[in-house]
Amino acid sequence: VDAALVSAVGAEHVLTDPDLRAAAEVDWTGRWRGACRAVVRPGSTEEVAAVLRICADAGVPVVPQGGNTGLVGGSVPVGVPGAVVLSTRRLDALAPVDATGTVVAGAGATLAAVQRHARAAGWAFGLDWAARDSATVGGAVATNAGGLRVLRWGPARAQLVGAEAVLASGAVLSRVDGPVKDSTGYDLSGLLCGSEGTLGVLTRVRLRLVPPLPAERAVALVGVDGVPAATGLLAAARRALPGLAAAELVGAAALALALRLGLPAPLDAEWPAYVLLETAGAGALDDLTAALAEAPGVGDAVLAGDAADRARLWRYREEVTPAISAAGVPIKLDISVPADALPAAWEALPATVSALAPGAQVVLFGHLAESNLHVNMLSVPADREPAVVEAVLRLVAGAGGSISAEHGIGRAKARWLGLTRSAAELAAMRAVKAALDPAGLLNPGVLLAGS
């Protein structure tokens, strides 16, 4: 197998040395650590197909990996003995943006690269999050990722026109050319989106770009009395600000961790929660000021109009994730609930965790507009972890929520997929998996593995 891989992609792109493999064998949070026989870095769709054919012939499992910034262990070779990690990072070509604002990007292109490329052509890319310099568009599509602009532009699926992917057999599916309006057969591109590398390896994606946010923007960081106040504020902001472009929620514990990284306190007093609002368009700062003056629930607020000040306020949101990692190895859950269930869930989550792991620290933040919370838990004893995860996810399922709003299922939640997906749905998913990857070689252990 190794010799065949070398002849397919070149010796310099088959990494078997443990030191060279190491970065691909662990996720960035440090929670998911495994081993693989080799990291293979094909440089073209044809090379991906060759690699997959070799692996199929030899019965070798394949773990696709983009920027390896995932949060559910979906891109690392954990519990898959003898697997090949297929890195898409060399597939980073960017075609010119076409006249209608679509672009074909290699799966390994980073969000930041696509953002720059779009900007140079007078467009913008609708996906953004803090890991933009590492996360790839292939990974984003494979996991139907969300991020900071879902309120405005939707998740990865909403940006996807079509995909090119290689199946486990080496067969290449390609929907990256032709007219955008095309209704000829099953939407295999959409099926691949969110399939977490279990149905095929994405090699290129055709993305729908969006108009750039107006340069005139304003950001506010608002201290609020609690989540009911935050949701009231959001409702008022939606009505008053047609240019609303982001609405993020940061709990007191999350902000406190970010301050430990050296950020100054943003407001005079501490608040139970903070809402970051961004709006774009002519008169943004005046509009945001006026909206906050009239909105309910504003405890205190700091506003920013110029770019540097806005970036400074965004750090109170974006530094939360690194601050959590600096504080320990967290358990990360990514949940959403119906909007009216958010306040109760926010209250119940810390109590639920404390009941099972009294010394644990529960750090909550996320995307207010979608009632999407990132539940991070520090200092949970290893022997309590399964019970804690189960309790949180059952709480969410009981509230009619989703156990994964935007991170995917990965390894972390595979055994819990049945909490919100019915037996009929799981059976249908398994049937689709078996249809496209009959030998089960693509990303085993991920998504459907526990159901």
Instruction: Restricting to residues 83-122, name those near its own copies by CB under 8 A.
Output: 99-100
Does residue 270 belong to the site contacting its own copies (CB under 8 A)? no
Choose one: 74-82, 173-181, 218-226, 252-260; the region binding its own copies (CB under 8 A): 173-181
**Closest distance of CB 182 from its own copies, Å:** 4
Does residue 30 belong to the site contacting its own copies (CB under 8 A)? no
d(CA 218, CA 367): 18
- Among 202, 349, 360, 429, contact with its own copies (rule: CB under 8 A): 429
Contacts of 132 (CB under 8 A, 6+ apart): 110, 111, 112, 115
Does residue 171 belong to the site contacting its own copies (CB under 8 A)? yes
User: Which residues within the stretch 340-379 sit at the binding site for its own copies (CB under 8 A)?
Assistant: 340, 367, 370-372
Question: What are the DSSP calls for 198-246, one per residue?
Answer: SS-EEEEEEEE-BPPPPS-EEEEEEEESSHHHHHHHHHHHHHH-TTEEE
- Among 57, 133, 182, 306, contact with its own copies (rule: CB under 8 A): 182
Nearer to its own copies, 117 or 407 (CB): 407
Say if residues 194 and 159 touch (Cβ distance below 8 Å): no
Task: Considering only CA atoms, give the Rg of the chain.
Answer: 22
CA–CA distance from 215 to each of 282, 283, 297, 368 (Å)?
9, 11, 28, 23
Say if residues 32 and 443 touch (Cβ distance below 8 Å): no
User: Which residues within the stretch 231-250 sit at the binding site for its own copies (CB under 8 A)?
Assistant: none
Nearer to its own copies, 51 or 113 (CB): 51
CA within 13 Å, CB half, 295: 31
**Closest distance of CB 206 from its own copies, Å:** 13
Say if residues 436 and 200 touch (Cβ distance below 8 Å): yes
Q: List the structure tokens of 402.
A: 């989703």
- Among 191, 259, 267, 387, contact with its own copies (rule: CB under 8 A): 191
Closest Cα to residue 244, out of 207, 209, 288, 200? 288
Does residue 280 belong to the site contacting its own copies (CB under 8 A)? no
- Among 173, 233, 292, 446, contact with its own copies (rule: CB under 8 A): 173
Does residue 282 belong to the site contacting its own copies (CB under 8 A)? no
User: Which residues within the stretch 197-226 sit at the binding site for its own copies (CB under 8 A)?
Assistant: 199
CB atoms within 10 A of CB 242: 10
User: Which residues within the stretch 384-423 sit at the binding site for its own copies (CB under 8 A)?
Assistant: 400-409, 417, 420-422
Closest Cα to residue 34, out of 87, 70, 75? 75
SS (H, E, C) 32-73: CECCCCEEECCCCHHHHHHHHHHHHHHCCCEEEECCCCCCCC
Maximal C-alpha separation, the chain: 68
CB atoms within 10 A of CB 119: 13
**Closest distance of CB 372 from its own copies, Å:** 5
**Closest distance of CB 317 from its own copies, Å:** 17
User: Which residues within the stretch 47-76 sit at the binding site for its own copies (CB under 8 A)?
Assistant: none
Nearer to its own copies, 116 or 430 (CB): 430
d(CA 141, CA 157): 7
The number of residues that bind its own copies (CB under 8 A) is 71
Query: Could you tell me the sign of the dihedral formed by the alpha carbons of 365, 366, 369, 372, in that order?
Result: negative
Nearer to its own copies, 86 or 396 (CB): 396
- Among 3, 11, 23, 180, contact with its own copies (rule: CB under 8 A): 180
- Among 174, 289, 325, 379, contact with its own copies (rule: CB under 8 A): 174
Nearer to its own copies, 322 or 338 (CB): 338
**Closest distance of CB 133 from its own copies, Å:** 23
User: Which residues within the stretch 138-157 sit at the binding site for its own copies (CB under 8 A)?
Assistant: 143-146, 150, 155, 157
Does residue 318 belong to the site contacting its own copies (CB under 8 A)? no
**Closest distance of CB 402 from its own copies, Å:** 4
- Among 186, 264, 269, 383, contact with its own copies (rule: CB under 8 A): 186
Nearer to its own copies, 308 or 424 (CB): 424
